[in-house]
Amino acid sequence: MQIGIVGGTGPAGRGLAARAARAGHQVLLGSRDAERAVAVAEGLSAAQSVSVAGCANADAVEAELVVAATPWDALVSTMQPLATSLEGKVVVSMANALVKEGREMVAVYPARGSMAAQLQAALPRSYVTAALHHLPAAKMEDLTSELEADVLVCGDSADARAVTCEVISSIDGLRAIEVGSLAQAGPIEAFTAVCITINIRHKVHSTLRLGGI
């Protein structure tokens, strides 16, 4: 599938781009600054032996499936101007609203309950899902690193959830687990604070696994 990653030059975007490209997807890595996107995509492609193309965010959203990987506080302001191109599309939100407090990350609560809900409100004609929050970015980007992680997926459209799960499960080492509606996005996003705080305290790159399923 063709996958566009808006705000793809950060750690979350790069890691997803590398893994999705290795899985055979055609990846468009977008940035506000197209030149920077091209440079990051070339560096990533060379380092991880994959083929990722860099482009402007406005070009990345032409892909079949779009992933928003911007910093959380730039999510709505980056995506809303692209709303027309995103009409009728599945848009996957990776955002977590977190702030650093001492040696912990703490969750902050968006007014609509989650960043994914903020995005859905900004893109009423798109099908927003929330996914890919709890992955260790460093391990994602290094394709020599073995990953075995569960990815929780939620959203209000059953079709959009299914497509999101399908793409995620096509990536080696990731298992998509469908949770439910966008009402689940708040707890899923906020739980990232717990995962990162554990990583800081225990000096690890933890991954989320669910047993018994």
For a copy of itself, the binding residues (CB under 8 A) are 101, 103-104, 106-107, 109, 136, 148-149, 152, 177-181, 183-184, 186-188, 190-195, 197-198, 201-202, 204-213
Q: CB nearer to a copy of itself: give 43 or 173.
A: 173
Taking the least distance from each CB to a copy of itself, the nearer of 2 and 181 is: 181
Which lies closer to a copy of itself via its Cβ, residue 46 or residue 111?
Answer: 111
Contact 1, 26 (CB under 8 A): yes
| Helix locations, 123-179, DSSP H | 137-141, 158-169
Nearer to a copy of itself, 22 or 205 (CB): 205
User: In the bound complex, what is the minimum distance in angstroms from residue 116's beta carbon to a copy of itself?
Assistant: 13
Gap between the Cα atoms of 209 and 213, Å rounded = 10
Residue 156 and residue 182 in contact, taking contact as beta carbons nearer than 8 Å = yes
Amino acid identity at 113: G
Based on the number of CB atoms within 10 Å of its own CB, is 213 exposed (0-12), middle (13-18) or buried (19 or more)? exposed
Smallest distance from the beta carbon of 193 to a copy of itself, in angstroms?
Answer: 5
As measured in angstroms, the least distance from the Cβ of 99 to a copy of itself is: 10
Nearer Cβ to a copy of itself, position 125 or 209?
A: 209
Nearest distance in Å: CB 26, a copy of itself:
30
Q: Which of 179, 162, 60, 70 is nearest to 122 (CA)?
A: 70
Q: Cβ distance 3 to 65 under 8 Å?
A: yes
CB of 25 to a copy of itself, least distance (A): 24
